[in-house]
Structure formats: C-alpha cells, structure tokens
Amino acid sequence: MTMRSNPLSKGIRAVWNMKKSLPLTVNLMRDARVDRLNKLIFLFVTIGYLLFPYDFIFDFPIFGQLDDLAILLYMLNWFISRAPEAVLKEYGWDAEKAEKQKRKKEKKTVQKKAVPAKADGRLKSRLRLKRTGS
C-alpha cells in the first residue's frame, strides 16, 4: 500500500532543510562531477520562472510568493536528487539517512491508520451483540 504524505508537511520540511540544501546546491553547481545538463536545466527553470512576469498565483502579499518558493524548493530537490551519491556523501548529504527517516515516518503513519480499523471491528462486534440481545 502506497502512502501519500501531507503536502503541507513536505513543504514545511523542505523549507526547514533549505539551510542545508542551499549551500549543498552551491557546492554541486561548482563541482565538475555533476552533469552540466542538470545544472543548466536547474538554472534555466529556476531563474527563468522567477524572472517570468506571469505567475501561477498573482503577487498578493505573502500568497503571491508561495508559488515562487514552491518552484525553488521543487527545483532544489530535483537538482540534488540527480547528483551522484558519492558527491552528495562527500558534501555530507546522507540520502540513505533521509530515506530511512522517511520510511520510518511512513511506517508510523500506517500503524496509526491501522488502529481505527481494529476499533471499527470491535464496534461491529458490539453491534452484533446488541442485535442478538446479549
């Protein structure tokens, strides 16, 4: 069963990790072992979108900048995920640790969702007992 995580929590986590991912991105941009095409795509999409005069959400205070932030966070994640693992490890980015934490969190979510199913079964058995008069 595939679990979807809450987009809001993913966004908050991404903003929280920006203090790590921005310096990593700068280092990856300077590193020759990272594919040039990925660097160009990252720069073109990120800078191009930020300079493009039309937005998905019009520039109302706070809300207008959310789409810009979302694109930036998505592109940071995209660029880092396409860097070679050896380079990421050299810069102190442990992808396995992040993946392990993600799986652990998903496992907790699955366990939490399993509890109401048990409670539902108990409720059905109580209803059966009441119908039979016991």
CA distance 43 to 19: 19
Average pLDDT (23-46) is: 93
Q: Is the pLDDT assigned to residue 1 strictly greater than 50?
A: no
Is 95 or 61 the better-scoring residue by pLDDT? 61
The model's pTM: 0.60
- Mean pLDDT, rounded, of the chain: 75
Strand, helix or coil for residue 92: coil
What pLDDT is recorded for position 5?
A: 62
pLDDT above 70 for 96: no
DSSP H helix total and E strand total for the chain: 6, 0
25 neighbors 79 (Cβ within 8 angstroms)? yes
Within 10 angstroms of residue 75's Cβ, the number of other Cβ atoms is 19
**Residue 95 Cα to chain centre, angstroms:** 13
pLDDT greater than 70 at residue 26: yes
**25, 83 Cβ separation under 8 angstroms:** no
Beta-carbon contacts of 95 under 8 Å, excluding residues fewer than 6 positions away, are: 85, 88, 89
Q: Is the pLDDT of residue 103 over 90?
A: no
